[in-house]
Amino acid sequence: MIQLKKFFIYHVFVLVTCVFILSGCATPTKVVYLQDVQPNVTVALQEAKEITLKPGDRLRIVVYSRDRELVQMFNLNNFNMSTVDHNNQNSYYTVNKDGKIDMPVLGLISVEGLTRLEVADLIKFRLLSGKLVRDPTVTVEYAGISYFVMGEVGNPGRQLIDRDQITLLEALSQAGDLTIQGRRDNILVLRTEDGKQTPYRVDITQTESLYGSPVYYLQQNDLIYVEPNEMRANQSRLNANTLRTPSFWFSTSSFLLSIILLFIK
What is the percentage of the chain residues whose pLDDT exceeds 90?
A: 55
Q: Are residues 255 and 186 in the same domain?
A: no
Report the pLDDT value the prediction gives residue 82, as an integer from 0 to 100.
44
Q: Please give the biggest Cα pair distance in the chain.
A: 110
Report the pLDDT value the prediction gives residue 13, as an integer from 0 to 100.
53
Report the pLDDT value the prediction gives residue 197, as an integer from 0 to 100.
95
Reduced to 3 states (helix: H, G, I; strand: E, B; else coil), residue 190 is strand
Q: Are residues 68 and 128 in the same domain?
A: yes
Q: Are residues 152 and 219 in the same domain?
A: yes
Q: Are residues 151 and 114 in the same domain?
A: no
Whether residue 235 is contained in a domain is answered as no
Whether residue 38 is contained in a domain is answered as no
Q: Are residues 124 and 103 in the same domain?
A: yes
Q: Are residues 247 and 216 in the same domain?
A: no
Q: Are residues 67 and 132 in the same domain?
A: yes
Q: Are residues 134 and 158 in the same domain?
A: no
Q: Are residues 162 and 218 in the same domain?
A: yes
Report the pLDDT value the prediction gives residue 224, as an integer from 0 to 100.
98
Whether residue 234 is contained in a domain is answered as no
Report the pLDDT value the prediction gives residue 207, as an integer from 0 to 100.
92
Q: Are residues 79 and 135 in the same domain?
A: yes
Whether residue 233 is contained in a domain is answered as no
The total domain count for the chain is 3
Whether residue 130 is contained in a domain is answered as yes
Please report, for the domain that includes residue 203, its CATH number. 3.10.560.10
47-67 residue pLDDT tens = 889 999 999 999 999 999 988
Residue 23: is its pLDDT beyond 50? no
Task: Report in angstroms the alpha-carbon separations of 16 from 23, 126, 243, 250, 254.
Answer: 11, 80, 15, 8, 8
Please report, for the domain that includes residue 91, its CATH number. 3.30.1950.10
Report the pLDDT value the prediction gives residue 31, as an integer from 0 to 100.
77
Taking residues 142-169, what's their average pLDDT? 95
Residues 6+ apart with CB under 8 A from 44: 211
Select from 113, 142, 171 the last residue of a domain: 142
Domain that holds residue 103: 58-142
Report the pLDDT value the prediction gives residue 161, as an integer from 0 to 100.
93
Report the pLDDT value the prediction gives residue 237, as an integer from 0 to 100.
60
What is the SS3 string spanning 5-20?
Answer: HHHHHHHHHHHHHHHH
Q: Are residues 62 and 138 in the same domain?
A: yes
Whether residue 43 is contained in a domain is answered as no
Whether residue 32 is contained in a domain is answered as no
199-213 residue pLDDT tens = 999 999 999 999 999
Residue 181: is its pLDDT beyond 50? yes
Report the pLDDT value the prediction gives residue 73, as an integer from 0 to 100.
86
Q: Is the pTM of this model over 0.75?
A: no
Report the pLDDT value the prediction gives residue 265, as an integer from 0 to 100.
56
Whether residue 117 is contained in a domain is answered as yes
Q: Are residues 83 and 132 in the same domain?
A: yes
Report the pLDDT value the prediction gives residue 83, as an integer from 0 to 100.
43
Taking residues 89-118, what's their average pLDDT? 92
Reduced to 3 states (helix: H, G, I; strand: E, B; else coil), residue 64 is strand
